[in-house]
Amino acid sequence: MYALWGKAALDRGVAALVLVLAAPVFALLALAVLLALGRPILFRQRRAGRHGAPFTLIKFRSMREGPAPDAARLGCFGLWLRASGLDELPQMINVLRGEMSLVGPRPLPCDYTPLFSAPEAERLRVKPGLFGLAQARGRNALPWARRLACDVEYVRQVPEFTTDIKLAMACTALLLRGHGAPMPGHAT
């Protein structure tokens, strides 16, 4: 197993590199969100981090403001942004801050934490990640119970460097194909 400090150093190094190299992409996406949806450009939400500690997750906004249901506020631009995974790029800031890892269970809103069964709560033993086992196995195409089971499986297997690299590559391949993004009848 690669040590937690090694994983954290790798996470922060990769996040810093991506933030620098992808700065033009960030600027273009910010402009696209501004033109398509207006302000604010970024979506912020409290999510449960390691041991359930709350942090503010940052994403590009993909839905229009208003009282309508999520699916109605998610237009063509928002669907494309989510399917591409580009809405998640600002989370590199969360990784750089040490609130997230590149690989780990996806962070869920803090309101979900009390609803976890004892095994499901094990997902909180590690930092949440940008990529995870549930995403590699199908993203939103998986039912919630299966996603949570995948998160627990990842935590219990004592992640290794090669495992994390394989998961990141598998998730990237799914993103490039747009597989498992928004499901019919659902906003996410």
Helix axes 4-21, 23-37, angle to 10 degrees: 70
Which of 30 and 162 is assigned the larger pLDDT?
Answer: 30
Residues paired with residue 46 on neighbouring β-strands, in sequence order: 56
Instruction: Determine the average pLDDT of the residues in 89-103.
Output: 96
Of 19, 90, 94, 16, the residue nearest 54 (C-alpha): 94
Measure the CA–CA gap between 146 and 142, rounded to whole angstroms.
6
Q: Tokens 């090669």, residue?
A: 162
pLDDT at 181: 54
Of 76, 67, 71, the residue nearest 37 (C-alpha): 76
Q: Kindly report, residue by residue over 100-147, the tens digit of the pLDDT.
A: 999 999 999 999 999 999 999 999 999 999 999 888 888 778 899 999
The percentage of residues in the chain with a pLDDT greater than 90, rounded to a whole number, is 62
| pTM confidence score | 0.88
Across 10-14, 51-55, 102-106, 160-164, least confident range: 160-164
Amino acid occupying residue 134: A
- Specify whether the CB–CB gap between 181 and 139 falls below 8 A: yes
